[in-house]
Chains A and B, each alone.
Chain A
Amino acid sequence: MELEDIVIEGSHKNFFTPSVNFNAKTGICELSGESFLEDTAEFYKPLIDWLVEYTEKIKKPIAFIIKLTYFNTSTSRCILDLLNVLKDYEDEGGEVVVNWHYDENDSDMEEDIEDYMIDTGLNINIIPF
């Protein structure tokens, strides 16, 4: 069965849903907006499973692009899970590029990204806007 794309439109109501666009043909996976969810694990599980399936069945390059302007600590755990899937794939020979765009005045976010690099061992391109 073919891996279907994940397309989620972000929304900012009482909870904040990020925008998600995981494309199985191009390998371009984008996660942007804000993340504060009622059930964080439930939202991110399909995304994590998708990445695992892509790395096991499709095995082409992945460009993972993050443009989150806000995420709570619950989300930060799921981001770690996503990045660890990418690191495992890279360790097995998969081609992985991670670009994290952030507001250049947000030094807290810059530190967060550095900490993810230390934690996962992934090289993350930190791109200010």
Chain B
Amino acid sequence: MEKTGGKYDFSLYEFHNLLHQNILVSYKGPIDERVMTVIGENIEILTNDGNDRTKSKIFKIFMELAQNVWLYSAESCKTMSGKQLGMGTLVIGEFGDYYTFVTGNMVKNTDVEPVIEKCEIINSLDRDSLREYRREQRRLANQGKKNSGNIGLIQVALTAESPLDIELTPVSEEESFFSLAVKIKKKTVKE
């Protein structure tokens, strides 16, 4: 279809079509509790296929990953009141019998290695071992021995019941774009 107009270097129609297939909600920008409330509510409405278990899982995953972007994104901005907000992208898509939730944000190359390692560990563990890993990491965090930001990632893998699909794309010498996707199967009530 021919691009009409041509006044702007950006075709919103093409962008819309890019997003339209399978994508329920997408957001790119700063994240704080107010943004999380609005997106959270939208997600709740749009994943309302009659199953509370699936909705509850998506919500839990969203809360952890959104807050991770807010706190740890290398790209951030300041509100008028001086609050620092991490910036990133969140997308939730629906594909037949599952949903995919993806978040992405800039990271400093010097900071990202431990996160990748943690995801690899998480992906290598079976459910019982993952639960044990969460117990251990939580204990260590409470003893002041570890950064607790990564307990969220363990929780996401447990809630999703699927691996963390991570991708790191170098952008510059100092930074890369880090994305994390999880698949959430639609559940029937007694599953």
Contact = CB atoms under 8 A, between A and B. Distances in A.
B138 A76 contact: yes
Contacts of B53: 105-106
A111 B131 contact: yes
A38 B32 CA distance: 10
Interface of A: 13-15, 36, 38, 70, 72-74, 76-77, 80-81, 105-106, 108, 111, 115, 118-119
A36 B141 CA distance: 18
Rank and list the top 3 A-B pairs by shortest CB-CB distance, nearest first: A14-B33, A73-B151, A14-B37
Interface in B119-151: 131, 134-135, 138-139, 141-142, 148, 151
Interface of B: 33-34, 36-37, 52-53, 56-57, 59-60, 63-64, 67, 131, 134-135, 138-139, 141-142, 148, 151-152, 155, 158-159, 189-190
Contact of A105 (B131, B135, B139, B189): B189
A36 B142 CA distance: 18
Nearest to B136: A119
Contacts of A106: 53, 56
B148 A77 contact: yes
**B interface majority secondary structure:** helix
B138 A14 contact: no
A77 B63 contact: no
Nearest to B189: A105
Contact of A14 (B34, B67, B134, B139): B34
Nearest to A111: B131
A77 B33 contact: no
B131 A115 contact: yes
Contact of B141 (A72, A77, A115): A77
B151 A105 contact: no
A33 B59 CA distance: 16
**A interface majority secondary structure:** helix
A10 B151 CA distance: 25
Contacts of A119: 135, 138-139
A14 B53 CA distance: 22
Contacts of A36: 63
A111 B155 CA distance: 12
B148 A70 contact: no
A72 B142 CA distance: 15
Contact of B33 (A15, A70, A76, A118): A15
A75 to B, nearest CB: 11
Contacts of B189: 105
B61 to A, nearest CB: 11
B25 to A, nearest CB: 18
Contact of B158 (A72, A80, A105, A108): A108
A80 B33 contact: no
Nearest to B32: A14
Contact of B64 (A38, A72, A81): A72
A38 B151 contact: no
A77 B142 CA distance: 7
